[in-house]
Chain A
Amino acid sequence: MDKVFIGIDVGSVSTDIVALDVEGNILSTQYLRTNGQPIEAARKGLRNLKEEFKGDIEVLGVGTTGSGRQLTGIMVGADVIKNEITAHATATITLVPGTRTIFEIGGQDSKIIFLKDGMVTDFAMNTVCAAGTGSFLEHQAERLGIPIEEFGDLALTAKKNVRIAGRCTVFAESDMIAKQQYGFSKAEIINGLCEALVRNYINNLGRGKKLEPPYVFQGGVAANKGIVAAFERELNHEVIVPKNHGVMGAIGAAILAKEYIERTGRTTNFRGFECTDLDFTPTSFICGGCDNSCEVIKVEMNGKAMAMWGDRCGKWTNSIA
């Protein structure tokens, strides 16, 4: 029987699930589309995992991360519920020791994490702007009729440089249309877009801070060779893309769960794979208690309220003890 620690990263675009053995080796990784249904995605991933090991598996601990960490954490009975910055950094420190700067570009957000001696010293995260994220690239690829999988390779074939405004998706898009009319090829425009994205990313998140190598690039967008090449040109230095770059958050969550269980000697809260069959429903309602009209999220399991949040005053959150 395999003894494993599970990490689940529920993001806006993808839901990733990994299993580590007691030594920390990666036994299984999954990358699933969230499709706006985080719970379904997590359920599906757990079922796949059980099948993969033919049910012959003992779960010693579970960690969740990503924007859906709280919800999924309650469903599966997670031991550790951690923010994605700490999770990503934990995975990189373990898999690529000595890293000083992490570039992480995901579906709807991007982060930069600064490390020293295996510890996070600073970080930044984009807030309101989608210009540097996977969703924007996907949208542009679609507009140009290029499958996103070929996007990176095509960018590498560009012969000339095209400068595209990267500050804002709206400007970038109108710039791209203009440059198409100037007669630049698709490959060149795409390459220009990669460079614009990297420039914007470094300006916006780096904010003049010194970026020290070794650089590690992870997140879904790290699969895009065009972006990797643009990073290397901009920094004039090699950029490492780890093998499991797409599921680093989940790996980090699993490592954190493993560390927690080992440190405290506790047994896991994991509800078992049966939790995928539980009737687990999040609902939301607008509280009419005051003019704040908060949108309160209520999570019920088999008809029993498990957790509530979203209220500013704590009236509902504290109602469940």
Chain B
Amino acid sequence: MKVAFPYMGTTVIYKKLLELLGHEVIEPPEPTQRTIDLGVKYSPEFACFPLKVVLGSYIEAVEMGAETIVTSGGHGPCRAGFYGETHKKILKNLGYDVDIIVFDAYKRDKMGTIKRVLKVKNGKSWITVWKAINVVYAMAKALDRIEKRIEKMRAYEVHKGECTKAWKTIKEWFDHDVKTIKDVEMTEMKSHKLLDEIKLVEVPEEEKIRIGIVGEIYVVMEQSINLRIEETLGNLGAEVERSQYLSEWIDYNIMPGAARKEHELYILKKGEKYIEEIIGGHAKQTVGHIVDYAERGFDGVIHLMPFACLPELVSQSIIPTIGKEHNIPVLTLSIDEQTGTANTLTRLEAFIDLIRNNKRTKTA
């Protein structure tokens, strides 16, 4: 069975899981203008940007021969909860013969989930499945640790682009060299050594700028469609941290056991004052993370949302209050199919200027 998956963030992780289960994996290419064009052409006009890009990515995977697509479903009241079904229908109408397996919140449909797991399990023994999950989980953790380090380093690299290049190499190593937990450990060590070699500029602690990136998961995680926001901010001299990392998402949504859910619950709790209920998407996480970043002494927050995303529009309208109460500047950017970056770059530059000035007077 030729299996593909939606493209989001560090895709080598999903690829590895499917490979360890013995599937022939079709990895869709990183979204490009063509992916976006395909998605926009075949999606309803009012659908939000992530749906469109993911659809484009599915079409490209099917063109490459994918027969099955495995994805996670959204849950909660925003329209993302209906994505899997919408994608199925559009692909069917386009005449593509492809099976989409959607993993939704398993509590709602336990039998269905078991059926889907059996399909993806591919006749492997449960021990194999367990091992595969453990390797991939360790890998997700390792890759997120490395990426977090890169997100800090990039602000100070002497030769622009070195960190991004190293990150690409590291992902290739994980892709090719990892089969066991031991491999994960070895590759992580090797990766950190590679990063050790990158020359950095010394910047005094009080001049360092730290920015948190919050918002809807797809536009936060997928750099090819969010104007490569992390690189852009890094080049402007700011360290960044995202509100979403794959391993944290796995902790909260997939792994059993309460201890692993702690971080996300802690964030949700922080947002409670501003948004009480889960209103879909990541609105509640967004406000929680802003509070968290303010408390951890970050200098500013970039809030990313797909254009017209309902839950994030709600969080956007509360952000001025949060910013004021916690004394942290927040810049909201809407992401859609625009390619012109001049306007966004102007705003990001001005935002960093604002933060630098703030810091200068605080320390003076």
Which A residues contact B (CB, under 8 angstroms)? 67, 82-86, 109, 117, 119-123, 125, 127, 207-209, 290-294, 312, 314, 318
Cβ of A318: which chain B residues have Cβ within 8 Å of it?
A: 160-161
B346 x A84 contact (CB < 8 A): yes
Name 16 extra pairs, CB < 8 A, besides A85-B349, A86-B353, A312-B228.
A67-B342, A82-B353, A83-B347, A84-B346, A85-B346, A119-B357, A119-B358, A120-B350, A122-B354, A125-B343, A125-B346, A291-B32, A291-B35, A292-B33, A293-B34, A314-B161
Cβ of A127: which chain B residues have Cβ within 8 Å of it?
A: 334, 343
Q: How far apart are the CA atoms of A250 and B362 in the complex, in Å?
A: 29
Cβ of A117: which chain B residues have Cβ within 8 Å of it?
A: 361
Chain A's closest residue to B350 (CB) is: A85
Total A-B pairs, Cβ < 8 A: 66
Q: Given A291-B32, A318-B161, A85 and B228 touching (CB < 8 A)?
A: no
- What's the minimum C-beta distance from B130 to chain A, rounded to whole angstroms? 39
Out of B33, B224, B329, name the residue touching A121 (CB < 8 Å): B329
Does B29 make an interface contact (CB < 8 A)? yes
A83 x B353 contact (CB < 8 A): yes
Out of A83, A292, A314, name the residue touching B350 (CB < 8 Å): A83
A119 x B343 contact (CB < 8 A): no
Does B320 make an interface contact (CB < 8 A)? yes
B321-348 near A? 1/0 per residue, CB < 8 Å: 0010000010000100000001101110
Q: How far apart are the CA atoms of A290 and B334 in the complex, in Å?
A: 25
B161-175 near A? 1/0 per residue, CB < 8 Å: 100100000000000
B317 x A208 contact (CB < 8 A): yes
Q: How far apart are the CA atoms of A130 and B164 in the complex, in Å?
A: 37
Q: Given A119-B361, A120-B357, A122-B329, A208 and B320 touching (CB < 8 A)?
A: yes
Cβ of A314: which chain B residues have Cβ within 8 Å of it?
A: 161, 164
Chain A's closest residue to B361 (CB) is: A119
Q: Which of B153-191 contact A (CB under 8 A)?
A: 160-161, 164
Chain A's closest residue to B333 (CB) is: A127
Q: Size class of B's contact patch? A: 20 to 34
The 7 closest A-B pairs by CB, nearest first: A85-B350, A291-B32, A291-B34, A83-B349, A292-B32, A83-B346, A86-B353
Chain B's closest residue to A68 (CB) is: B342
Q: How far apart are the CA atoms of A74 and B350 in the complex, in Å?
A: 20
28 sampled A-B residue pairs with Cβ under 8 A: A67-B342, A83-B349, A83-B353, A84-B346, A85-B347, A85-B349, A85-B350, A85-B353, A86-B349, A86-B350, A119-B358, A120-B354, A122-B323, A122-B329, A123-B354, A125-B343, A125-B347, A127-B334, A208-B317, A208-B320, A291-B34, A291-B35, A292-B34, A293-B33, A293-B34, A312-B228, A314-B164, A318-B161
Cβ of B357: which chain A residues have Cβ within 8 Å of it?
A: 119-120
Cβ of B343: which chain A residues have Cβ within 8 Å of it?
A: 109, 125, 127
Cβ of A120: which chain B residues have Cβ within 8 Å of it?
A: 350, 353-354, 357
A interface SS class: loop
Q: Given A67-B342, A86-B349, A292-B32, A209 and B354 touching (CB < 8 A)?
A: no
Q: How far apart are the CA atoms of A208 and B201 in the complex, in Å?
A: 41
Q: How far apart are the CA atoms of A294 and B349 in the complex, in Å?
A: 22
Cβ of B349: which chain A residues have Cβ within 8 Å of it?
A: 82-83, 85-86
- What's the minimum C-beta distance from A50 to chain B, rounded to whole angstroms? 30
Cβ of A291: which chain B residues have Cβ within 8 Å of it?
A: 29, 32-35
Cβ of B320: which chain A residues have Cβ within 8 Å of it?
A: 207-209
Cβ of A86: which chain B residues have Cβ within 8 Å of it?
A: 349-350, 353
Chain B's closest residue to A209 (CB) is: B320
| Most A-side CB within 10 Å, residue of B161, B334, B346 | B346
Q: How far apart are the CA atoms of A318 and B29 in the complex, in Å?
A: 23
Q: How far apart are the CA atoms of A302 and B33 in the complex, in Å?
A: 33
- What's the minimum C-beta distance from A118 to chain B, rounded to whole angstroms? 9
- What's the minimum C-beta distance from A135 to chain B, rounded to whole angstroms? 15
- What's the minimum C-beta distance from B309 to chain A, rounded to whole angstroms? 15
Q: How far apart are the CA atoms of A283 and B48 in the complex, in Å?
A: 35
A121 x B317 contact (CB < 8 A): no
Q: How far apart are the CA atoms of A76 and B161 in the complex, in Å?
A: 27
Cβ of B342: which chain A residues have Cβ within 8 Å of it?
A: 67
Cβ of A293: which chain B residues have Cβ within 8 Å of it?
A: 32-34
Cβ of B358: which chain A residues have Cβ within 8 Å of it?
A: 119
Cβ of B350: which chain A residues have Cβ within 8 Å of it?
A: 83, 85-86, 120, 123
- What's the minimum C-beta distance from A105 to chain B, rounded to whole angstroms? 16
Q: How far apart are the CA atoms of A208 and B323 in the complex, in Å?
A: 13
Q: How far apart are the CA atoms of A82 and B354 in the complex, in Å?
A: 13
